[in-house]
Amino acid sequence: MRCLFVSLPKQSKSSAKHKTCKSGGYCKAKKREIGGIKVENKLYVSYAPHIRSKENVSETMLDVLIALIPALAAGVYFFGVRALFAVLVSVACSVAFESLWNMLLKKKNTVGDMSAAVTGVLLAFCLPPSIPLWIVIIGDFFAIVIVKGFFGGLGQNIVNPALAARAFLLACWPVDMTNYTLPFTNLFSGEAVSSATPLVSEIKPSYFELFIGKIPGCIGEVSAVCLIIGGIYLLVKKRIDFVIPVCYIAGVGIFGALFGDGFLFSVLSGGVILAGIFMATDYVTSPVTAKGQAIYAIFAALVTAVIRKFGGYPEGVTYAILMANILTPLIDKFAVPKKFGYVKKAKNAQKEAL
């Protein structure tokens, strides 16, 4: 449950009653009467001070799309127009499915917030360049309708839609989902030379190739430098916080080094940087507090490294973050922020004694 600040009418006595509550503001308000009508507040009210902002969802999503442009350019450069087609189809279908779903339920059309477009891009980034377009369309339907729509729309989904769709596609069509292609092969056609991902290849690419993205892999995950540029943009625009990306990416590197795979190789291979910057930081499915975010990211990093080392599938990013998403409500429950200005009784007693 997200922390929300609810302004109650002046006539309501709930505010005065709430000040005497021992929870200090982090509790469920009891039933009360406002204008003769019984109202039950089921929202959690966070500790003061409360921050108000004029920013909206569409502005945030636009910044995310801008941050994804360098990685998209790298994907098209290395894998050709086939990669661009996959991204465009994914975005178009995601937007169309969201619009149709809203029409079916007679709800307000939310296409304008651009969240569906972001989901479409992120899903395409998680797919190999040679993926059949009909699989992309099925993935978009699963992400927008099943994962997002069935749970109530934006802000209500319990897991990241793009990663959930990727996990679904991987379970249904594992061969197509792991058919990676070499860079610079048949850039203007649908055919390509297949190759293994660096995680399972016997001949390891150089760190420079891993950094710029000249490796087999998914469309948007190969170029670490372009993803980092996008991440810096989001940090500068204050769309994401540094806690989750740093803890997750560094955690994967540290656990990978402990398991014998090397720090840099663990970080630069697979979808670690893409997921750490653009997916694990999803507002809806990640914890609220910095402490909770650190726990969430380190847990996901550990699961990623364990699946890579001991699992039957070489890449564990998808399942690791989905597991962390599911645990987010539990993490939020125990990683409760302290009340503003709160000092422990023991410290107060010591100060008074002095």
Q: 254-271 burial by CB neighbour count: b if 16+ within 10 A, else e? A: bbbbeeebeeebbbbbbb
Residue bearing the bigger pLDDT, 77 or 191: 77
pLDDT tens-digit series, residues 238-277: 999 999 999 999 999 999 999 988 899 999 988 999 999 9
pLDDT tens-digit series, residues 186-214: 554 444 444 445 554 556 778 888 899 88
pLDDT tens-digit series, residues 300-335: 999 999 999 888 777 889 999 999 999 999 999 888
pLDDT of residue 209: 85
Q: Which residues pair with 29 in a beta bridge?
A: none
Q: Which of 296, 254, 306 is nearest to 275 (CA)?
A: 296
pLDDT tens-digit series, residues 122-164: 999 999 998 999 999 999 999 999 999 999 888 889 999 999 9
**Mean pLDDT value across the chain:** 82
pLDDT of residue 190: 45
Q: Is the pLDDT of residue 4 over 70?
A: no
Could you tell me what percent of the chain has a pLDDT over 70?
A: 74
If you average pLDDT over residues 161-184, what whole number do you get? 90
Comparing 65-69, 107-111, 195-199, 222-226, the range with the smallest average pLDDT is 195-199
- Residues 6+ positions from 337 with CB-CB distance below 8 Å: 26, 46, 47, 288, 289
If you average pLDDT over residues 164-171, what whole number do you get? 95
pLDDT of residue 214: 86
Q: What gap in Å lies between CA 88 and CA 352, rounded to an integer? A: 66
pLDDT of residue 181: 82
Q: What gap in Å lies between CA 128 and CA 248, rounded to an integer? A: 23
Token couple for 69: 């442009």
**Coil, helix or strand for 354?**
coil
Conformation bin of residue 261: beta by default, left when phi > 0, alpha when psi is -120 to 50: alpha
Could you tell me what percent of the chain has a pLDDT over 90?
A: 55
Q: Which of 167, 199, 193, 177 is nearest to 270 (CA)?
A: 199
pLDDT of residue 22: 44
In the chain, the amino acid numbered 120 is G
**Coil, helix or strand for 38?**
strand
If you average pLDDT over residues 164-187, what whole number do you get? 85
- Cα(first)–Cα(last) distance of the chain, in Å? 42
Q: What gap in Å lies between CA 205 and CA 253, rounded to an integer? A: 17
pTM: 0.79
Lookup result for tokens 């399942």: 319
If you average pLDDT over residues 64-75, what whole number do you get? 96
Contact yes or no for 163/279 (Cβ under 8 A): yes
pLDDT of residue 323: 96
Q: Which of 39, 40, 48, 38 is nearest to 5 (CA)?
A: 48
Phi, psi of 309 (to 5 degrees): -85, -40
Q: What gap in Å lies between CA 20 and CA 28, rounded to an integer? A: 14
Residue 5 binned pLDDT confidence (cut-offs 50, 70, 90): very low
Q: What is the DSSP letter of 288?
A: S
pLDDT of residue 339: 67
Q: What gap in Å lies between CA 195 and CA 197, rounded to an integer? A: 7
Q: What angle do CA 145, 152, 41 make, to 5 degrees?
A: 175
Token couple for 317: 């990013």
Q: Is the pLDDT of residue 113 over 50?
A: yes
| Domain residue ranges in the chain | 1-52, 56-239, 241-336
Q: Residue 9's CB: how many other CB atoms inside 10 A?
A: 9
pLDDT of residue 78: 92
Q: Which residues pair with 37 in a beta bridge?
A: 34
pLDDT of residue 6: 42
Distance from chain centroid for Cα 111: 19
Q: What gap in Å lies between CA 315 and CA 334, rounded to an integer? A: 30
